[in-house]
Amino acid sequence: MKRMLQMLVGIILLIFFIPCLFVGKSDTMPLRAGEEEFQGKSIRVLIDETVHTMDLEEYVVGVLAAEMPASFEIEALKAQAVAARTYAYRKTLIENENHPMADVCSDYSCCQAYRLSVQASAGWGERSDEYMARLQQAVRETQGEILVYDGKPIDAVFHSSCAGRTQDAVQVWGAEVPYLQSVESMEGDNVPNYETAVEVSKDTFRKSVLSMYPEAVLEGDFTSWIGDIVYNSTGSVSEMDIGGVSLSGREVRNLFSLRSTHFLLDVNDERILFQVTGYGHGVGMSQYGANAMAKCGDSYEDILTWYYTDVDILPYT
């Protein structure tokens, strides 16, 4: 009887403890979408006039959702994640005059675009879960990594596409930046709106120019209003004379809402036609160029060290 009681107690113990021997990490409850272990530096983000404090890694997911197609190659997404994280991390170290209460804002013309997960999911439709998982993977697999030059985080600017070669920072903003040098860029096929045309009538052209540059002389033959045009080494417009006033390519781009400063002109008596290539300022990483490199088998490290000269990829501290 005593022997049978001992056997019964043993069986009960086995029933309770054997499962514990086989429960491991794979048997725990899986994380749901958005519950990755992003626990790093916090950042203050200005969204629609409200400041939100969030984890830097979570913020980078939102930047990816807004700044790069989620269908891009995973290595391109990882390169974008590092660039976006670097840009944001650098902003946390300095005060922004445009919004001193926040490190960054969601206005791409000031900082970086940012999209809430609800907004992103609505835009992705049936592929929402797949795309969000891809962005989270890109952030998770580069977690904490930033681009550093001479021991400091860089100004990791980027753009959509360029005309086969990126621009030096000095060509666009007038300041030499050692890690923002011109490099060849393989843009790949099927870049949307890679070549665009903007037609401006004579009357609209005159009004637009005079509204910003009233000293310009716009009289007589329309074709005589355009003077010398200076192109830089990448083929983009550096300077352009309009009515005796010298405008930078950037000023012309802003004045007529062109997609880039890489443009050619076709002028007749009634209108001017801007034939534009690429989209963005052309400095730093080309997003479509990054995707083309990823399709060829390049890693995100290869992409980043190609577009940003002499940088290191290191964890932030």
Q: Answer whether residue 67 is part of any domain.
A: yes
Give the count of domains, the chain. Answer: 2
The answer to whether residues 204 and 224 belong to one domain is yes
Q: Can you give the pTM of this predicted structure?
A: 0.84
The answer to whether residues 171 and 217 belong to one domain is no
Q: How far apart are CA 63 and CA 109, in angstroms?
A: 14
The answer to whether residues 180 and 288 belong to one domain is yes
Residue 194: CB partners within 8 Å, gap ≥ 6? 161, 187, 277, 278, 279
The answer to whether residues 199 and 298 belong to one domain is no
Q: Answer whether residue 30 is part of any domain.
A: no
Q: Answer whether residue 37 is part of any domain.
A: no
The answer to whether residues 220 and 99 belong to one domain is no
The answer to whether residues 254 and 308 belong to one domain is no
The answer to whether residues 237 and 123 belong to one domain is no
The pair of structure tokens assigned to 59 is 């913020």
**What pLDDT score does 40 carry?**
66
**What pLDDT score does 188 carry?**
78
Alpha-carbon distances of 19 from 2, 9, 25, 282, 308, rounded to whole Å: 27, 17, 13, 59, 52
The answer to whether residues 79 and 154 belong to one domain is yes
The residues facing 229 across adjacent strands are 240
The answer to whether residues 152 and 218 belong to one domain is no
**What pLDDT score does 189 carry?**
78
Could you give the residue ranges of the DSSP H alpha helices within 92-227? 117-124, 128-140, 169-173, 202-212
Q: Answer whether residue 180 is part of any domain.
A: yes
The answer to whether residues 123 and 150 belong to one domain is yes
**What pLDDT score does 211 carry?**
97
Print pLDDT tens along the chain (317 aa): 444 444 444 444 444 333 333 333 222 222 233 344 455 689 999 999 999 999 999 999 999 999 999 999 999 999 999 999 999 999 999 888 899 999 999 999 899 999 988 888 888 999 999 999 999 999 999 999 999 999 999 999 999 999 999 999 999 999 999 999 999 999 977 899 999 999 999 999 999 999 999 999 999 899 999 999 999 999 999 999 999 999 999 999 999 999 999 999 999 989 999 999 999 999 999 999 999 999 999 999 999 999 999 999 999 97
- 64, 74 in Cβ contact below 8 A? no
Find the length of the chain: 317
Q: Answer whether residue 3 is part of any domain.
A: no
**What pLDDT score does 22 carry?**
32
The answer to whether residues 159 and 305 belong to one domain is yes
The answer to whether residues 139 and 229 belong to one domain is no
Q: Answer whether residue 11 is part of any domain.
A: no
Q: Answer whether residue 142 is part of any domain.
A: yes
Look up residue 284 and give its amino acid: G
Range of the domain at 114: 42-189+282-315
Q: Answer whether residue 4 is part of any domain.
A: no
Q: How far apart are CA 93 and CA 78, in angstroms?
A: 23
